[in-house]
Amino acid sequence: MVAAALLAAGQACAEDGYALWLRHAPLEGEALADLREAAPIVPVIVGRPGSPTLAIAEAELRRGLAGLQGYDRPRLTRDSTEIVLSCGEEKGDGAAGFGIAPEMIEGRQAVVIAAEDHVGCLYGSFALLRALGEGKPLSEIRLTEAPTMPLRMLDHWDNPDGTVERGYAGRSIIDWWHLPEKLDPRLVDYARANASIGINAIAVNNVNAKAFMLEPRYIAKLARLADAWRPYGIRVFLSARFSAPMELGGLPTADPLDPAVKAWWKAKADEIYASIPDFGGFLVKANSEGQPGPQDYGRSHAEGANMLAAALGERGTVIWRAFVYRAEDSTDRTMQAYAEFQPLDGQFAGNVILQIKNGPLDFQPREPFHPLFGAMPRTRVMLEAQITREYLGQASGIAYLAPLWKEVLDADTGRGGTVAQIVAPTGMAGVANVGSDRNWTGTHFDQANWYAFGRLAWNPALPSEDIAREWAAQTFTRNPQPLGTITAMMLASRGTVVDYTGPMGLAHLMGTGHHYGPAPWVCDLERPDWNPCYYHRADNGGVGFDRTATGSNALAQYAPAVAAQWSDPATIDPRFLLWFHHMPWTHRLPSGRTLWEELATRYDAGVAGVDRMAADWASLAPAIDPERHAAVAGDLSIQRKEARWWRDASLAYWQSVNGLPLPPDTAPPAEPLDAYRQRKFPEAPGQ
Ligand code: BDP
């Protein structure tokens, strides 16, 4: 009794974030009465014999419904509503989705979750719990959904030694060393969370891959993961090092046209499929940032990808990354991927997908969409997003990324649709942000980015606001007033980060190596395109990268209608001004301010935005459990400090270049420029 009462009050256990959005906190008021009295809970499986997947669906329903009712286990009454799982074939990947609707069955009230296959029923079960978790009455829940994109994928940049490249949430959740014998139960919880948002593929290791992960001992480890995740509808992919035939096979070459190389990969694929019959395929970073690839042998990306695709055959897919740029190439870095890949359109095998980052540079807080979207109509292309916040504050503060991804998904390529429409037939991958931290993602709010990524891959038409609200309702509170405050904070947060790190189209201004904090002054790195000054091009006269016809002409890689929107500094969306134009500091903007004044205004807006988030969060203390309230307050104090640091260091630097006085009402930086330049963080995480 006491336990139930405490549970009902939502205080039984400390809120450490481990349960994610699957907390199933007890409902309140009418919704609770509705669910306790009118409803459940007898998940009934009809039609087919059971399966591990259906057993999971049933267990999730029981667990979720009990939680929502405030009980430790579901209670039956004579009037209980049956939840009927009507689930078709066991085989299948849930692509046909599910339907949920109330129905009378033999005079009894029921809610039917119907799907063509068992994974579809699992998705439907989670969808029902989500709707209930938002406070919707059971009798009013009617849903018909199917995923838009077939491949809804997480890319782990996890290394076999347990470190995570660009990971800010502890160590890898995959304990490779102790696999296959020992499987951390956390990995099953991981699959649950992913299945609940429709994720169906996971690349388990860093794209900067170790060849030895293709050795038999690693195939056994991978098979154990595949077995654990299969019932959740998740297929495993492996990042493969292109030179593995040399490193592991002792061959003198990894030339993709060499018969011995082809045979080696074919045998390797056969070996993997013998252990993992539904192995998804290989993810490959080739000829990029020092990784080996087909160009080492004078072969094209298509020749390299197609060789691997032939080894997999109909069994799997090669996901080939378009993230390439070269030190030796003096072309604008943002143009190099298009230049290399666009001419290869039509040459890739049917089981190759080209994975293209959202923008042409590298996961910056704001970039225009990548010009390859729409430019390769005869190639299967998918979107690569970054959930981990490498360039948006890492694991401090709040930056809700759905608006960033939506900006790209909704962008009209001018070549056959929006980015969302172009990638809809294939899919979307997100660089995962999970780690061994108790709350999975380092900060509580970063759970929302994982969640939003899955929801958008399922349905890219979902508004950022709806996703934020449904996440926050399940994660923090359904109380409308605090829920509204949290949703508003989330929606503004990414724009705020853009404002204090790189407003008006500025990008790549971060510290070297660790990518933490501001360093716009860095100009002396060996590779020109690793220097912030390569990107901002600030001098006494102005700032910004001229990518029009008078400069690099990156604009020409876009459809003419799109290029036209951006080619004129007078009419361009000011958020992209300095991405495409080098402008005088004194240039007058539609706001009436000069560029220099506008920049200062934006930096101040960024700082004020973080202060506002911190104040809003402080006001929510009565509505949020003390553990997570304190943790987020801590995150926001860090972000307040970082926002000031970015603002001050940036203004001090720009001023040192342009020699202009600070605009009126702009507070001077707290420290002299040199003090910011001296700051060093060799120990920053994630490298
Ligand atoms: C960059 C990261 C680097 C990755 C690279 C990639 O800084 O760690 O290896 O992207 O995507 O953003 O391959």
What is the domain partition of the chain in residue ranges?
Answer: 19-145, 151-462, 500-545+582-677
The tally of CA atoms less than 13 A away on the side-chain side of residue 195 is: 31
| Amino acid in position 283 | L
Counting atoms of ligand 1 from 1, which one is nearest the CA of 165? 8
How far is Cα 308 from Cα 4, in angstroms, rounded to an integer?
56
- With cut-offs at 50, 70 and 90, classify the pLDDT of residue 106: confident
How far is Cα 90 from Cα 349, in angstroms, rounded to an integer?
30
Question: Which residue has the least CA distance to atom 2 on ligand 1?
Answer: 166
Among residues 412, 362, 407, the alpha carbon closest in space to that of 384 is found at 362
Non-local CB neighbours of 84 within 8 Å, separated by 6+ positions: 43, 44, 46, 103, 105, 110, 111, 112, 113
390 pocket-lining for ligand 1 (C-beta < 6 Å): yes
pLDDT tens, position by position, 640-666 = 999 999 999 999 999 999 999 999 999
How far is Cα 472 from Cα 21, in angstroms, rounded to an integer?
8
Whether the upstream peptide bond of residue 41 has omega within 30° of 0, thus cis, is: yes
The tally of CA atoms less than 13 A away on the side-chain side of residue 548 is: 17
323 pocket-lining for ligand 1 (C-beta < 6 Å): yes
Counting atoms of ligand 1 from 1, which one is nearest the CA of 166? 8
DSSP letter string, 7-21: HHTT-SS---STTGG
- Name which of 132-136, 428-432, 449-453 the model is least confident about: 132-136
Statement: residue 38 has pLDDT above 90? no
- With cut-offs at 50, 70 and 90, classify the pLDDT of residue 13: low
Ramachandran assignment for 198, one of left (phi > 0), alpha (psi -120 to 50 degrees), beta (any other): left
Specify the residue for token string 């009126």.
664
Structure tokens at 120: 């579809």
Contact present, 336 and 326 (Cβ < 8 Å): yes
Contact present, 53 and 92 (Cβ < 8 Å): no
| Amino acid in position 129 | L
The pLDDT value given to residue 73: 72
Ramachandran assignment for 580, one of left (phi > 0), alpha (psi -120 to 50 degrees), beta (any other): alpha
Contact present, 317 and 349 (Cβ < 8 Å): no
In the reported structure, the alpha carbon of residue 661 is separated from the centroid of ligand 1 by a whole-number distance in angstroms of: 38
pLDDT tens, position by position, 465-495 = 999 999 999 999 999 999 999 999 999 999 9
In the reported structure, the alpha carbon of residue 355 is separated from the centroid of ligand 1 by a whole-number distance in angstroms of: 14
At residue 263, the 3 state secondary structure works out as helix
Structurally, at CATH architecture level, domain 19-145 sits in 2-Layer Sandwich (3.30)
155 pocket-lining for ligand 1 (C-beta < 6 Å): no
Contact present, 300 and 258 (Cβ < 8 Å): no
How far is Cα 78 from Cα 75, in angstroms, rounded to an integer?
10
163 pocket-lining for ligand 1 (C-beta < 6 Å): no
- Is 215 an active-site residue? no
Structurally, at CATH architecture level, domain 500-545+582-677 sits in Alpha-Beta Complex (3.90)
pLDDT tens, position by position, 353-382 = 999 999 999 999 999 999 999 999 999 999
In the reported structure, the alpha carbon of residue 390 is separated from the centroid of ligand 1 by a whole-number distance in angstroms of: 9
How far is Cα 642 from Cα 175, in angstroms, rounded to an integer?
33
- Length of the chain (residues): 687
Counting atoms of ligand 1 from 1, which one is nearest the CA of 285? 13
pLDDT tens, position by position, 509-532 = 999 999 999 999 999 999 899 999
Strands in 98-105's sheet, in edge-to-edge order, are 42-46, 82-86, 108-115, 98-105, 143-145
The CA–CA distances, whole Å, from 231 to 123, 228, 235 equal 12, 7, 10
- With cut-offs at 50, 70 and 90, classify the pLDDT of residue 143: very high
- The pTM of this model reads 0.97
The pLDDT value given to residue 8: 40
E-strand stretches of 469-547: 542-543
- Is 289 an active-site residue? yes
How far is Cα 477 from Cα 473, in angstroms, rounded to an integer?
5
In the reported structure, the alpha carbon of residue 8 is separated from the centroid of ligand 1 by a whole-number distance in angstroms of: 45
How far is residue 433 CA from its own chain's centroid? Answer: 7
| Amino acid in position 108 | R
How far is Cα 469 from Cα 486, in angstroms, rounded to an integer?
8
CATH 3.30.1330.30 at 151-462, yes or no: no
